[in-house]
Amino acid sequence: MAAAPKRKPTPKSTKKPTPSRSRKKAAPAKVVEQTVSAVENKAPLVIDPALALLEYHSIAAGVLAADAMVKQATLDVVHAGTVQPGRFLVLLGGVVAEVEEALKVGKASGADALNDHIFLPGVHKEVVRALAAGREVKPDDALGIFETRTVPSAIHAADKGIKGAAVTLMEVRLADGLGGKGLVFFTGLVSDVEAALEIADDALEESQKVRHVVIPQIHADIANVIRANTRFGPQLNWPEA
């Protein structure tokens, strides 16, 4: 019986396989990159000469009032958003007359939801620096702390204190992590810190104040803690909320 003829091997195809197509996901990544870039390149806060800050206990009323204010006046600076505990802040800056006009509209628009407000026609530059989370830490003799019930009253206390006495405005903390309260930290000579707190106390209504204290010779351990961070969590590396 004759042997079956050998079959020639099938030549391998030289055609390159077509790569599998997958959906492009570039758009979301691009959005994230733009967001990160915007945060990293954020311009420093500049408010000159006038500042107004309004605090609403209704978020809806606050947004409505913010819209009305911006439509009414030409402003250089407008920031608005929520803070704890469920309040809404509107920060305005620019020419005195324009800021004052916007403030009038904001007070009228959200009158029943307005918790507190402040108007500073010539805000101190150190207050603006502190508003943007800037800290000025110096190894001074005394520490003064002014605690307020609202954000606007803390800004008022800081502005009055720094203008009226030869002190350093170490830090201003506002609302978040404080249940809506404000904290103002002054440092300097004992007599100067006492003067700053007294001036701030005279400027505020009783309903706006919580307490103020002067620590003449703060212990080195507490001084180091306060100078490093006035928040408890970061000292123990807690994750940010």
Q: Which CATH number does the domain housing residue 181 bear?
A: 3.30.70.1710
Asked if 101 and 171 sit in the same domain, the reply is no
Residue 236 lies inside a defined structural domain of this protein: no
Which of 123, 147, 177 is a domain's end point? 123
Considering the domain architecture, whether residues 138 and 208 belong to the same structural domain is answered as yes
Of the spans 21-25, 81-85, 230-234, which averages the highest pLDDT?
A: 81-85
Among 123, 146, 165, the domain boundary falls at: 123
Of 67, 98, 123, the one marking the end of a domain is 123
Residue 17, preceding peptide bond in cis (omega within 30° of 0): no
Mean pLDDT, residues 91-117 taken together: 97
**Residues 152 and 224 occupy one common structural domain:** yes
Q: How many domains does the chain have?
A: 2
| The one-letter amino acid at 241 | A
98 and 145 in a common domain:
no
The packing angle between helices 96-109 and 59-72, to 10°, is 140
> Is residue 160 a part of any domain in this protein?
yes
Whether residues 140 and 178 share a domain: the answer is yes
Q: Please, are residues 146 and 212 in contact by the beta-carbon 8 Å criterion?
A: yes
Q: Which residue range(s) make up the domain with 85?
A: 50-123
Dihedral (CA of 196, 199, 205, 211) sign: positive
Select the more confidently predicted residue: 11 or 223.
223
Domain annotation covers residue 41: no
14-18, 20-24, 32-36, 113-117: segment of lowest average pLDDT: 32-36
Q: Are both 115 and 151 inside the same structural domain?
A: no
pLDDT tens per residue, range 119-151? 999 999 999 999 998 899 887 789 999 999 999
184 within 8 A of 211, measured Cβ to Cβ = no
pTM: 0.80
Verify that 117 and 137 share a domain, yes or no: no
